[in-house]
Amino acid sequence: MEVRKAKRSRRTAETEIDLEINLDGSGTSEIDTGIPFFDHMLTLFSKHGLFDLNARVQGDIEVDFHHTIEDTGIVIGECMREALGTKEGIRRYGCAYLPMDETLVRVVVDLSNRPHLEFRAPAGTASAPNMPFTLVEEFCRAVASNLRANVHVELLYGRDGHHIAEAVFKGLARALREACEKDARVKGIPSTKESL
């Protein structure tokens, strides 16, 4: 069986990242970004996507969390794109409705090689206590852009910032898991262009 995994290191003046992902894992993870709430979100992403994820990140969190969260999303997207290879035999599309107590989020993914993020949430959506909600969107944008995927995230309703962030990360994981899965009925690349 083909092993779909990738490993990357990325160094900038703002962050140092060593990251490895296995798309066909069991959801195990070792994560240290220096931001405990973000570690929690990535652990959920790994668990619910069934991606094995190892991430060691050092960022300028004394400035703010933006660079660390965005750059981690960049590397996750790059690694996933590399691990998918030619995308032969994958489902390509994934969709998840994710409830978290009073919150409901919908995430839809197309591994189209056309990067786009559509992120819809009401103005003034609550942040988690330790992570601005705007950085949830930035993470999704970084993953979508570097995976070259079409990603739609919509907060249908919710009040608690922790629940909202958690529903987005879990929903993204579930939708990506479905899109990345192999389907024995799919022959070749799932596109009439025969390229993704």
Does the pLDDT value for residue 92 go beyond 80? yes
In a domain, 188, yes or no: no
For residue range 160-189, what is the model confidence (pLDDT) as tens digits? 999 999 999 999 999 999 999 999 999 999
Distance CA 130, CA 10 (A): 25
In a domain, 190, yes or no: no
For residue range 148-162, what is the model confidence (pLDDT) as tens digits? 999 999 999 999 999
pTM score of the predicted model: 0.97
In a domain, 162, yes or no: yes
Instruction: Kindly state the percentage of the chain with pLDDT values over 90.
Output: 97
Q: What is the CATH number of the domain that holds 82?
A: 3.30.230.40
In a domain, 192, yes or no: no
In a domain, 195, yes or no: no
Domain that holds residue 136: 5-180
In a domain, 187, yes or no: no
Q: Taking all residues of the chain, what is their mean pLDDT, rounded to a whole number?
A: 97
How many structural domains comprise the chain? 1
In a domain, 98, yes or no: yes
DSSP string, 42-65: HHHHHHHHT-EEEEEEEE-TTT-S
| Strand order across the beta sheet in which 93-100 lies | 93-100, 103-110, 150-157, 116-120
What type of residue is 142?
A
In a domain, 193, yes or no: no
What type of residue is 138?
E
